[in-house]
Amino acid sequence: MLTHEQRQDIKQAIDVMHQGGVILYPTDTIWGLGCDATNPEAVAKIYAIKRREDAKALISLVDSEAKVDFYVPDVPEVAWQLLECATRPLTIIYDNVRHLAPNLLAEDGSAALRITQEEFSKELCMRMKRAVVSTSANISGEAAPRCFADISPEILAAVDYVCTSRRDEPDNGAASSIIKLTASSEVTVIRP
């Protein structure tokens, strides 16, 4: 159950994202840079903060299977089976994604989505009512921070809002597994 402070933290983060801002927030894996995944200008800000080419697509978090269905018109049945069997957070790159900012899509129209099960990020996505970008809080090419204390001052200064929740946790865990799943149910492991 989220505390009053966590609910206020989520409210402030959502207000910032609705205005096109970038947040720093705890996820089901590691601390992430986030924004409204439907806002191309906000997505461009994240690419700039990370100093990353926008040809390298970013992951977006959603709170439910229904949201995956909203963004992916034809989810292959094997996706649900893989998600059900996953023992840790699993990001799936789907074909023919719709309703996301164009600069979140790869050249082939695919994009990466993950259903978060962690309470804070799940509530954030649910209350945002749309996908939220989730990319590691680091400059591209540098090590991803394992906890809040590892996040560089440069990243902290570049965002519009830093969530206060879960900052004292010693280690948020590892990045998610990533697989690419084609419309014809072909599976490719990108990151085990």
Across 87-119, b (16+ Cβ under 10 Å) vs e yields eebbbbbbbebeebbebbbeeeebbbbbbbebe
Distance spanning both ends of the chain, measured CA to CA: 31
In the block, tokens 């001052």 appear at: 153
Q: Which helix (H) or strand (E) holds 27?
A: none
Q: pLDDT per residue over 144-153, tens digit each?
A: 888 999 999 9
Distance from C-alpha of 12 to C-alpha of 175, rounded to nearest angstrom? 25
Measure the CA–CA gap between 89 and 116, rounded to whole angstroms.
7
pLDDT score of 13: 98
Type of residue at 104: L
| pLDDT (average), residues 117-126 | 97
Q: Could you tell me which CATH number the domain at 4-191 has?
A: 3.90.870.10
| SS3 label, residue 104 | helix
**Residue 159 predicted with pLDDT over 80:** yes
Confidence band (pLDDT; 50, 70, 90) for 55? Answer: low
Please determine, for residue 160, whether its predicted confidence score (pLDDT) is greater than 90. Answer: yes
- Residue bearing the bigger pLDDT, 55 or 141: 141
- H or E segment at 62? strand 59-62
Please report which confidence band the pLDDT of residue 88 belongs to, taking 50, 70 and 90 as the band edges.
very high
